[in-house]
Amino acid sequence: MGSVPEMSVFSTSESVPIPVVIIGNGPSGICMSYLLSGYTPYVKEGAVHPNILLQGKLEECPQVPITEQAIEGSMFTLSHREWMGLPDFPFKDWTRMKRRNVRNDRSTAGDILNYYQYYVKKKNLEANFLSGTVVTSVEGIDEGAQNPFEKDILHRETEHSAHKGKLFRVSGFLKDGCGSKQTFSLYAENVVLATGTYDNPSWLGVQGEDLPFVFHQISALEEAIKMHHIQPRSDPVLIIGAGLTAADAVLLAHHYNLPVIHAFRRRVSDPALIFNQLPQVMYPEYHKVHQMMKEQSVFEGGPYAGYISLPEHHIVSFHCDKKCTFRDKQGQRKVLSISMVLILIGSNPNLCFLPTNGTYLAMDTAQPVNSKSNPMDIDPFTYECIQEKGLYALGPLAGDYFVRFVQGGALAAARSLLKSNKRPP
């Protein structure tokens, strides 16, 4: 995304550390770059909210802070286009400018990607982004450093850095269009982690999960359809999981008339199931999948041809003859033939560039970082990691896995950085 600065400015001979290095180019990283580039948010008294209904609510009780409002529990929303925007340039303005014909309030991933790329250009942030960069390590260095060069840098920074006697060494390589790599190592006073959470799909940990017909990303189904590896007369596609990605896979297979076996551990009536938390009027397609899950069991049949629901089932093993062994809630086992398997049960961030894969920064240091169950332990007012001063976590790493929450975290971190650095980043 954007222009690529010369790597020479980031060489190890550079004696002046960079005030802030942001790792990640998603909405969290873009927001952070925006706020640290001189764009200052402010309260505009008398401003009218763009949503007329919310404006009316605000006028009813002007003395009540928004932090004390009762939020409707069922409004657990996602991918709503009005909530995908970044500061000072709403997504709807981009769709209007591009003359996009948006059929509903949802957005395609492609449109969101193009919007974020355009946003960086519009806000003149391109020079902040170093595309094609792979970070391989982020290490804290302090006064105990053995490298004379690093000792010298630390000594020079003592008078300027808010975290006296502490810097970070960020190492990695830059890939060009020809496939060659250029290594780099730079020093930073602060590092912001904004890498998202979809890099490492979760595994079941069962026998045969590494067989060539078992996949962990929905893109495998798209590719199989494109290459005509599966047909309506093929054995069923086994989709495992009860989340929205699994539902997307069911919808995709259903669109191409592919037979589906849909297995998941929960009861269809489980309140924690995501479908039971989404407003039906906004997400009719997901509620259609939920209805299929309830009405189309392997035992009772139902109105949806080519789809079988296996609630409260566990996977025992996969076999090289493309069969799968299941275990139901009574402990009974069954074996079914399949054409391919999609295990869509969530994902974890790839933090291999951090010591212990970043687990030392998590709420539970004995478990991997997970946006929902085990986010990084941060100061809620600054988003600075409790276990590593000068290191900040944004977005899903901090538990904010919706774009509409990202701006608040970026603002908190930017305020902390601008306040703590004598030289503004």
Between CA 5 and CA 3 the distance in angstroms is 6
| Secondary structure tally for the chain: helices H, strands E | 9, 15
Q: Please report the DSSP string for 373-397 in residue order.
A: TB-B-B-TTT-BBTTSTTEEE-GGG
Alpha helices, H only, 184-255: 219-226, 244-255
What pLDDT, on the 0 to 100 scale, is given for residue 424?
46
What pLDDT, on the 0 to 100 scale, is given for residue 53?
72
Could you list the beta-strand ranges (E) of 144-248: 166-175, 181-193, 200-201, 214-215, 237-240
Instruction: Give every CB contact of residue 417 below 8 A, 6+ residues apart in sequence.
Output: 19, 20, 36, 190, 392, 425
What pLDDT, on the 0 to 100 scale, is given for residue 5?
47
- Encoding tokens for residue 234? 């093929």
The per-residue pLDDT for range 385-407, each reduced to its tens digit, is 999 999 999 999 999 877 778 89
- Yes or no: say if 41 and 130 are a contact pair by the CB < 8 Å rule: no
Which residue has 């995304």 as its token pair? 1
Q: H or E stretch including 415?
A: helix 403-420
- Encoding tokens for residue 19? 């005030």
CA of residue 162 relative to chain centroid, distance: 30
What pLDDT, on the 0 to 100 scale, is given for residue 403?
79
What pLDDT, on the 0 to 100 scale, is given for residue 277?
84
| Phi/psi at 45 (5° precision) | -65, 140
Between CA 274 and CA 125 the distance in angstroms is 36
What pLDDT, on the 0 to 100 scale, is given for residue 100?
61
Between CA 27 and CA 14 the distance in angstroms is 29
Between CA 347 and CA 274 the distance in angstroms is 16
> For the chain, which domains are there?
1-39+123-199+347-425 (3.50.50.60), 203-345 (3.50.50.60)
Between CA 101 and CA 79 the distance in angstroms is 17
Cα-based torsion angle of the residue sequence 67, 73, 79, 81 in order, rounded to the nearest 10 degrees: -60
- Encoding tokens for residue 222? 């798209």
Strand duo 200-201 + 214-215: pairing = unpaired
Amino acid at 99: R
Low-confidence ranges of the chain (pLDDT < 50): 1-5, 9, 11-13, 66-77, 424-425
Amino acid at 245: T
- Encoding tokens for residue 210? 């590494």
The per-residue pLDDT for range 253-312, each reduced to its tens digit, is 999 999 999 999 999 989 889 898 888 887 888 999 999 998 876 555 667 889 999 999
Supply the Cα-derived Rg of the chain in whole angstroms. 25
What pLDDT, on the 0 to 100 scale, is given for residue 131?
86
What pLDDT, on the 0 to 100 scale, is given for residue 66?
47
Instruction: Give every CB contact of residue 197 below 8 A, 6+ residues apart in sequence.
Output: 347, 348, 349, 370, 371, 395, 396, 397, 401
Amino acid at 384: E
B/e letters for 288-307, b = 16+ CB within 10 Å, e = fewer, are bbbbbbeebebeeeeebeeb
